[in-house]
A and B are shown apart, each in its own frame.
Chain A
Amino acid sequence: MTVPRGEVFGFLGPNGAGKTTSVKLLLGLLKPTSGQASLLGRPIGDLQTRRKIGYLPELFRYQGWLSAREVLALHCELAPLPRTSWNDEITSALDTVGLTDRAGDRVSTFSKGMQQRLGLAAALLGEPELVFLDEPTSALDPVGRHDVREIIRGLASRGTAVFLNSHLLSEVEQVCDRVAVVDHGRVIASGTMDDLLSGTAVKVRVTGLDGPGKAKLAEFGKIDDEGDQLTFTNLKPDRVPDLVAAIIGAGGKVFEVSPRHQTLEDRFLQLLEEEEK
């Protein structure tokens, strides 16, 4: 699996699938028991490569006894960036995440959302070539989430690769060029959004169908059965008339048929169910 420069890559999976562990492995924070990976052409764990990487951890926490500006100065120093560039870098990063007004305040007085913004600012310092964002909007309000999407798009437009871990599938759908779905430490699907979301989900409101009647509809693919509401999770639109005819033939009465494009959430759940079988 490769993530090219300038791409926004979404890494999805249920809790405990190994998303954060994968990021930590790539950053050299954990040692792999097997397998190989490289970042920016160098083996993982290479210290020099880390100069070009930004990272917002899922568990974000910064020195509460420092001000926001001091935290960013510390990261400039550890990066390390030339001292002459610190002021511009810090000012720009604070402005990008909307913390300019709180630059001199101690981090201990920040809300969780503001601390996450600060973490994002730290990850942006020094124009990194690759940025890892692990659940970057978990503590943000809708405005903050919108801002993060804009920041991610801005990073991609200047050629930075973004590796995005997120549970918020709608967000991933909006910003990612490509995604991979991981479960139990294994990638179970990957590709562009178009590759993954090629199907159409069809929701049908129907009465009068018993068990054997519903069983006759198996040829139309997987069904989410919620009583009077059936959802065919992956059905081509040109098969909808056949489906309606089959339901009526099986003794059902159709009240509503609503085809819609498959969402990432539909596909995500479908992949996980297939994986469990």
Chain B
Amino acid sequence: MPPTLVIARLTVQETSRRRLILALIILTLIVVGFSAWGFHKITTVTNSSGNVLPPEQVALITSQLLIVVTFMYSGVLALSAAVVAGPLISSEVESGLLLSMLARPVRRSEVVIGKWLGLAVLVAIYAAGSAFLEIAAVDWATGYVPPHPIELVLYVGAEGLALLSLGLLLSTRLSGITGGVIALVAWLMGWIGGVVGDVGTGLQNQAVENVGVFSHLILPTDLLWRGAIYAMEPDAFLATLRAAGTVGRANPFAAVDPPPLPFLAWVVVWFGLMLGLSIWSFRTREI
């Protein structure tokens, strides 16, 4: 097996033996169980005239609540990716664990790519698994299924991968705690940058709107999150947002359009840049 895949397997194995995967599975099952119960309650709620809500209204409320629940999942994914990626290389350099491995015929680039690959597999599995469970639970409870579930998984997974890539880059130079904290703060700042951009859109102020654009270019997590929102919005809700004009676009939990294709192309370039920088940074680091 090539060294890259050996390192990737080792990364997955370590996460599994340290019981992180087990903890995430248990927590996810608890959240899915509670949210299924909560979503089911929507179908039994009565309005002021004493009648249960009509299906259209149940779908609308469910779609909005699902966005909030998914925000939590994306947060868990981002947090986990940043916390795990932060010490991925730095802790092994500090402890000396990498010394004996790098004395083997292993390139530093293979270590970086292998570790990224191992965690990327876990992020992808978690994103797909948790999304499948949550969507299945919501479908069972309310009969509502978001319009683009595959895109939803891809956007949420890509958001986790972005945090993983940033955390890995920081891990080549900074200690685990520092790298993890910076990655998390960057994720929150990216989200706030997107909100500021929304305010600019609402005010029709190009300068303020550009804050959102720049923050999306530097760290694309927020716009990927907007892509996930778009994948969850029913057509009726989208029509309402579009009718509201610029005001409808000024909402961090709403998206009128999917992320534009040039931006998605930039995301691919951004991932390449992060990996390239991580490899360069680790290759030039003294261990």
Q: Which residues of A pack against B, CB within 8 Å?
A: 24, 27, 29-30, 47-48, 50-51, 53, 55-57, 59-63, 65-66, 74-75, 77-80, 119, 122-123, 132
Contacts and interface: CB of A to CB of B under 8 A. Distances in A.
**Which 7 A-B pairs have CB atoms at the shortest separation, nearest pair first?**
A59-B96, A78-B104, A55-B103, A57-B99, A65-B17, A47-B105, A50-B105
Given A29-B103, A59-B96, 12 more contacts: A29-B99, A48-B105, A56-B100, A57-B100, A59-B99, A62-B97, A65-B17, A74-B6, A75-B101, A75-B104, A78-B6, A78-B106
Contacts, number: 65
B239 to A, nearest CB: 53
Nearest to B104: A78
A77 B6 contact: yes
A141 to B, nearest CB: 22
B95 A78 contact: no
B276 to A, nearest CB: 19
Contacts of B100: 55-57, 60, 62, 75, 119, 122-123
B103 A53 contact: yes
Interface of B: 1, 3, 6, 10, 13-14, 17-18, 95-97, 99-107, 286-287
10 contacts: A29-B99, A29-B103, A47-B105, A50-B104, A61-B95, A61-B96, A61-B99, A62-B97, A77-B6, A123-B100
Nearest to A77: B6
A249 B3 CA distance: 75
Contacts of A56: 100
Contact of B3 (A51, A60, A65, A78): A78
Contacts of A75: 100-101, 104
A48 B104 CA distance: 9
A251 B103 CA distance: 62
Contacts of A59: 95-96, 99
A60 B6 contact: no
Chain B binding surface SS class: helix
B104 A79 contact: yes
A27 B14 CA distance: 27
Contacts of B6: 74, 77-78
B96 A47 contact: no
B281 to A, nearest CB: 14
Interface centre among B97, B102, B103, B105, by most chain A C-beta atoms within 10 angstroms, is B103
A162 B96 CA distance: 21
Contacts of A132: 103
Nearest to B96: A59
A30 B99 CA distance: 11
A210 to B, nearest CB: 54
B18 A65 contact: yes
Nearest to B101: A78
Given A30-B286, A74-B6, A122-B100, A65 B105 contact: no
A53 B106 CA distance: 13
Contacts of A57: 96, 99-100, 103
B103 A50 contact: yes
B107 A47 contact: yes
Contact of B10 (A50, A55, A61, A74): A74
A55 B107 CA distance: 16
A55 B105 CA distance: 12
B103 A27 contact: yes
B95 to A, nearest CB: 5
A132 B1 CA distance: 26
B96 A60 contact: yes
B105 A29 contact: no
Contacts of B97: 61-63
B104 A63 contact: no
Contacts of A63: 10, 14, 97
A80 B105 contact: yes
Contacts of B106: 78
